[in-house]
Amino acid sequence: RRMALFAGQLGTDYASIYRIHCGPDCLYFAPSGVPVVVDNSHFTHEASRLFSGEIDHPLLRRTVN
């Protein structure tokens, strides 16, 4: 919450990985059964692939020329 407030004060966007990872329940294993967290605070490669599609921001979109 503090990071979101701080980002708002700066006039920048904020994406909460916590909300993506833990809304409504925290996900500790991907559908494939592979763990998504290493030490309760760092994501695995599988988690990055799983959660990256949940963040929508114009700067993260690829354009086709």
For 26-61, how does the pLDDT look when each residue is reduced to its tens digit (9 = 90+)? 888 888 899 988 887 788 988 888 887 777 767 666
Is pLDDT above 70 for 63? Answer: no
Contact yes or no for 22/40 (Cβ under 8 A): no
pLDDT at 11: 92
Q: Is the pTM of this model over 0.75?
A: no
Q: Answer positive or negative: Cα dihedral of 20, 24, 29, 32.
A: negative
Check residue 6 and give its pLDDT. 94
